[in-house]
Chain A
Amino acid sequence: MGFFDKFRGRSEDSDTEEGLDLEEPAEEPKVEKEPEGPAFRIGSGYQKRLAREYSDLESLKGWRETLAMLNPEDVARFAKGRLVGKGALTGDPEEIRARLLESLDDYIATQEAVRGELLEGIKGTTRLREQIDKKGAKVLEAWVERATDEELLKAQYRLLGGKGSRSENPEELREFLLEALRKEAEADKEGKGFLGKLSARLGETKIFGKPVTEFLTGGVAGGAARMVIRRGARTAFFVFGGFIGAVGGGAAAGYASGAIRERVSETFARRRVIKELNEGEGGLGELSEVDIKNELKLLEKQLEEAEARERIRAVEHIRDRRRHLLWALGKKMGKLETPESMVDAMGDMDIEGGEESTPEIDPETAERMALIAEIRAAKGETRARILKAAKRGAIWGAVGGGLAAAALEVIEAIRGAGGAAVDEGTEALGKKLGLLGEAEATSSPNPIVIEVGDAGVPDGSGIDPGEIAGVPGTGESIIDIGADGGLAGVPEYIPLQGELASVDVPEGSSIADAVREYFVDVNGVEPTPLEFQGALSEVMEGNGLGLDQIYGPAGADEIFTGSRALDMSGMNGFMHELASGEDALSAMDGIPETIGMLPRNFSLMEGSNPWNESHKWLDQFFGEGNFTNADIARIDRALCMDSKIAWPEAGVTGENWVDHRAIPVGYEMNFGARTRATLLEILTEKSS
């Protein structure tokens, strides 16, 4: 037994003078009452991830079935950080898997119930939409009038664009906004304002053959319902603030002048409308010929842009949509008369929509296209094998967390860890999934595409914008610089980096608060601990501040209380990654989140000592017996530094003996940045 094990074995109610119990641990007191509610459940972070990744409950049920079929050992490992509840991860793998599945069942059942309620809520928002549609600018004006200074300061980025139109002075800002609204209202009277255009588009003009009233009630509800399932908590913002985003926000931005208006007006609003309608019920089958042709024209432009930027997902999305529109047009024009001919046409149409001309193709692209064509032309067994391997790989990627792990590896590589991280990660993944044996594991090129938003690479990310075409150290990965959100699954309400480059930390506030508020402002929901830490890290790094400056003796709240401007571009990049499902931090799903949930500090109780107290917390959060003595020594050393006490002072002497009396009762120990970083390091080492 190592010396730290002594302290971990000490019973909590020990009253021995040294606070130690060198005997065998006392028996656990018997629990008299069953705890209320289920003993185990899916962790909140994983719940959000499930909500984000599964567009409907059927596919989630499919995922549950997949888990049920997999090797229990793999599932038990997977459960770590995803299944919570005391003792959730103890017992044999079969037991752990059964708990995970049972908890998933509970989660699915809850979701089924919640879905009905949400639909009701969504119907309520349509009434709000109608109300604002009627009152138009007056509603926005009223909001500006009654908004608090703080709300105005936050909202200016959403509502105002153009040089010189922003201000740190709330009164001035209120004037800017009201003036912009007045101007727009004037323009609107003449039918030239945004509201007029929007009304024309949403009201008088039928969209896809449907009157707007139908769109408002049916289409939005259907579309929003899907978003609810898909994006979980974020959807609350989309659904309820979504009205503001789609119509109100669109109109507000339209009322104002400048860059945002440009962006938000025509294409933005239309795209959003199209997206909502597409996701609603029955949109495609009921399009008019004119609408189809108009949308096809719009898609051509978007396709050109997406291709020029090499945005894979956007290109696929547009081509898919175009193909669907062509089917619809074919049917409308009577060219696809029988069901068989329709299915044939679906099969025959080139997935890439190959008829478009690509006037200037560089040799590299030409080579790539030729390779793709050649592989695509494979028939018979070769085609079957390619497909089988691709599908299996996709499943493995999702099951093994390879997806996120790969993203993390590349980011690590970009940040200077070098290409080895990528290859090692791939090897580890291959071995973990049983795809590579110990002997035959070889490094291999790792195809990674990360979309980081078109406003550039986040400051402080360590990525040199000049290196975006190739990841240093790998030579093979590509960072795909994306455009604004809508085309590649990045929600449009996430601001672009250029739009929201800075935020003020007013006197008396803190960076941590500013980050949290900004996150809520953008996403409409509180960040999870994991998201908060990620966002905070981005901001600290992006502003040249050390992470260890976040957590002081009194925590983040009392640090940097002076007024200062913060560059939020790194955080915006981070939120884009989160929104597009590429959050690197989720590679270690569970671990950082658990670290984030540790209390910021704890006070020493009478008869206790720092080590027993901290270990109690660690055991509670990470399970008993997860740390070796060497780990504990590292953690405790960091804990000392975070708590502003010297290591020897803490009572560890040359005799390896802890004297809790050296620390006064009530002293506040901090799980600060050093402790958290050390924990992360240790847990990452253990999980790799």
Chain B
Amino acid sequence: MTEDLTEKNVQRYFDSMIAVVLDSSELRGLDEKKKKVLAEKIRDHFDDIVLDTLLNRLTTEQLKDLKESMARPEEMEEKIELYASAMPTFYDDLNDRLRNEMLAMRDILS
């Protein structure tokens, strides 16, 4: 239950950032269909940042471990979650990077 809510919360967080970018003056007037396509691209871009932030903070041993476990998705997920939860400042770093990215996108698209 808690897990679902956490994921919903994360989803909402990303949705709100995407909404900010889509509300920039260059994109505001686009039709909904186009906006939907762009929203997915923006989401992908934010996800790239999440991935980048995570991978940058993993040790080489963990990267090896992670790569090795990719064939076993559940084990892989568990490992990532554990690694990520113990990374100092990961949440804050992620938050800062995503927010900066969102603001930069909004600026450029305004």
Structural contact, A448 and B88, CB atoms closer than 8 A: yes
Structural contact, B67 and A397, CB atoms closer than 8 A: no
Determine the residue in chain B with the shortest Cβ distance to A392.
Answer: B81
Interface-side segment among A61-69, A180-188, A561-569? A61-69
How many residues in A have their beta carbons less than 8 Å from beta carbons of B? 86
Please report the C-alpha to C-alpha distance between residue A352 and residue B52 in the assembled complex, in whole angstroms. 8
Q: B80-110, CB under 8 A of A: which get 1 and which 0?
A: 1111111111111111110111011101111
Please report the C-alpha to C-alpha distance between residue A433 and residue B10 in the assembled complex, in whole angstroms. 17
Q: With a CB–CB cut-off of 8 A, which chain A residues contact B79?
A: 389, 444
Structural contact, B83 and A393, CB atoms closer than 8 A: yes
Q: With a CB–CB cut-off of 8 A, which chain B residues contact A404?
A: 88
Known contacts being A312-B56, A339-B26, is A387 close to B13, with CB within 8 Å? no
Q: Pick the contact of A403: B5, B66, B76, B90 (CB < 8 A).
A: B90
Please report the C-alpha to C-alpha distance between residue A489 and residue B100 in the assembled complex, in whole angstroms. 13
Please report the C-alpha to C-alpha distance between residue A70 and residue B47 in the assembled complex, in whole angstroms. 24
Contact residues of B between 53 and 76, Cβ < 8 Å to A: 53-67, 70, 73, 76
Please report the C-alpha to C-alpha distance between residue A400 and residue B66 in the assembled complex, in whole angstroms. 23
Q: Pick the contact of A397: B7, B86, B104 (CB < 8 A).
A: B86
Q: With a CB–CB cut-off of 8 A, which chain B residues contact A313?
A: 89, 93
**A367 interface residue per 8 A CB criterion:** yes
Tell me how far the C-beta of A410 lies from the nearest C-beta in chain B, rounded to whole angstroms. 8
Interface-side segment among A294-302, A377-385, A606-614, A624-632? A377-385
Q: With a CB–CB cut-off of 8 A, which chain A residues contact B51?
A: 351, 375-376, 383, 386-387, 390
Known contacts being A339-B26, A406-B87, is A371 close to B57, with CB within 8 Å? no
Q: Which residue among A70, A346, A407, A445 has the maximum number of chain B CB atoms within 10 Å of its CB?
A: A346
Q: Pick the contact of A327: B9, B60, B108 (CB < 8 A).
A: B108
Q: With a CB–CB cut-off of 8 A, which chain B residues contact A283?
A: 107
Contact residues of A between 282 and 315, Cβ < 8 Å to B: 282-285, 312-313, 315
Structural contact, B59 and A476, CB atoms closer than 8 A: yes
Known contacts being A368-B63, A394-B94, is A386 close to B76, with CB within 8 Å? yes
Determine the residue in chain A with the shortest Cβ distance to B74.
Answer: A385
Please report the C-alpha to C-alpha distance between residue A404 and residue B87 in the assembled complex, in whole angstroms. 9
Q: B30-67, CB under 8 A of A: which get 1 and which 0?
A: 10001000100110110111111111111111111111
Structural contact, A447 and B57, CB atoms closer than 8 A: yes
Structural contact, B90 and A371, CB atoms closer than 8 A: no
Determine the residue in chain B with the shortest Cβ distance to A478.
Answer: B59
Structural contact, A430 and B82, CB atoms closer than 8 A: yes
Q: With a CB–CB cut-off of 8 A, which chain A residues contact B52?
A: 316, 351-352, 376
Structural contact, A66 and B91, CB atoms closer than 8 A: no
Q: With a CB–CB cut-off of 8 A, which chain B residues contact A448?
A: 86-88
Q: Pick the contact of A339: B27, B48, B93, B96 (CB < 8 A).
A: B27
Q: Pick the contact of B82: A70, A387, A394, A436 (CB < 8 A).
A: A436
Please report the C-alpha to C-alpha distance between residue A123 and residue B85 in the assembled complex, in whole angstroms. 40
Known contacts being A62-B13, A316-B56, A394-B94, is A339 close to B109, with CB within 8 Å? yes
Please report the C-alpha to C-alpha distance between residue A447 and residue B79 in the assembled complex, in whole angstroms. 12
Please report the C-alpha to C-alpha distance between residue A347 and residue B97 in the assembled complex, in whole angstroms. 15
Known contacts being A364-B60, A426-B82, is A343 close to B41, with CB within 8 Å? yes
Please report the C-alpha to C-alpha distance between residue A489 and residue B93 in the assembled complex, in whole angstroms. 10
Structural contact, B109 and A378, CB atoms closer than 8 A: no
Tell me how far the C-beta of B1 lies from the nearest C-beta in chain A, rounded to whole angstroms. 8
Q: With a CB–CB cut-off of 8 A, which chain A residues contact B87?
A: 393-394, 397, 403, 406, 447-449
Please report the C-alpha to C-alpha distance between residue A140 and residue B48 in the assembled complex, in whole angstroms. 49
Range, interface on chain B: 35 or more
Structural contact, B7 and A387, CB atoms closer than 8 A: no
Structural contact, B97 and A320, CB atoms closer than 8 A: yes
Tell me how far the C-beta of A544 lies from the nearest C-beta in chain B, rounded to whole angstroms. 29
Structural contact, B104 and A389, CB atoms closer than 8 A: no
Structural contact, B77 and A388, CB atoms closer than 8 A: yes
Known contacts being A320-B97, A402-B86, is A284 close to B104, with CB within 8 Å? yes
Structural contact, A392 and B104, CB atoms closer than 8 A: no
Please report the C-alpha to C-alpha distance between residue A684 and residue B70 in the assembled complex, in whole angstroms. 38
Known contacts being A284-B104, A343-B38, A407-B88, is A389 close to B66, with CB within 8 Å? no
Structural contact, A392 and B6, CB atoms closer than 8 A: yes
Structural contact, B59 and A394, CB atoms closer than 8 A: no
**A340 interface residue per 8 A CB criterion:** yes
Contact residues of B between 1 and 37, Cβ < 8 Å to A: 2-3, 5-7, 9-10, 13, 26-27, 30, 34
Tell me how far the C-beta of B27 lies from the nearest C-beta in chain A, rounded to whole angstroms. 5
Q: Pick the contact of A385: B54, B76, B105 (CB < 8 A).
A: B76
**A150 interface residue per 8 A CB criterion:** no
Known contacts being A55-B96, A388-B77, A400-B85, is A445 close to B6, with CB within 8 Å? no
Determine the residue in chain B with the shortest Cβ distance to A449.
Answer: B57
**A633 interface residue per 8 A CB criterion:** no
**A31 interface residue per 8 A CB criterion:** no
Q: A544-586, CB under 8 A of B: which get 1 and which 0?
A: 0000000000000000000000000000000000001110000
Determine the residue in chain A with the shortest Cβ distance to B104.
Answer: A324
Please report the C-alpha to C-alpha distance between residue A256 and residue B103 in the assembled complex, in whole angstroms. 38
Structural contact, B7 and A388, CB atoms closer than 8 A: yes
Structural contact, A375 and B63, CB atoms closer than 8 A: yes
Q: With a CB–CB cut-off of 8 A, which chain A residues contact B90?
A: 393-394, 397, 403
Structural contact, A389 and B6, CB atoms closer than 8 A: no
Known contacts being A316-B97, A342-B109, A371-B64, is A395 close to B92, with CB within 8 Å? no
Structural contact, A316 and B107, CB atoms closer than 8 A: no
Structural contact, B80 and A390, CB atoms closer than 8 A: yes
Determine the residue in chain B with the shortest Cβ distance to A373.
Answer: B55
Structural contact, A398 and B91, CB atoms closer than 8 A: yes
Tell me how far the C-beta of A334 lies from the nearest C-beta in chain B, rounded to whole angstroms. 14
Please report the C-alpha to C-alpha distance between residue A327 and residue B52 in the assembled complex, in whole angstroms. 19
Please report the C-alpha to C-alpha distance between residue A313 and residue B108 in the assembled complex, in whole angstroms. 23
Structural contact, A389 and B78, CB atoms closer than 8 A: yes
Please report the C-alpha to C-alpha distance between residue A581 and residue B93 in the assembled complex, in whole angstroms. 10
Q: With a CB–CB cut-off of 8 A, which chain B residues contact A272?
A: none
List 9 A-B residue pairs with CB atoms under 8 Å apart, sorted by A's residue number: A55-B99, A344-B41, A346-B45, A372-B55, A389-B77, A392-B7, A394-B87, A398-B92, A426-B86
3 smallest beta-carbon distances between A and B, as pairs = A393-B84, A398-B91, A389-B80
Interface residues, chain B, CB within 8 Å of chain A? 2-3, 5-7, 9-10, 13, 26-27, 30, 34, 38, 41-42, 44-45, 47-67, 70, 73, 76-97, 99-101, 103-105, 107-110
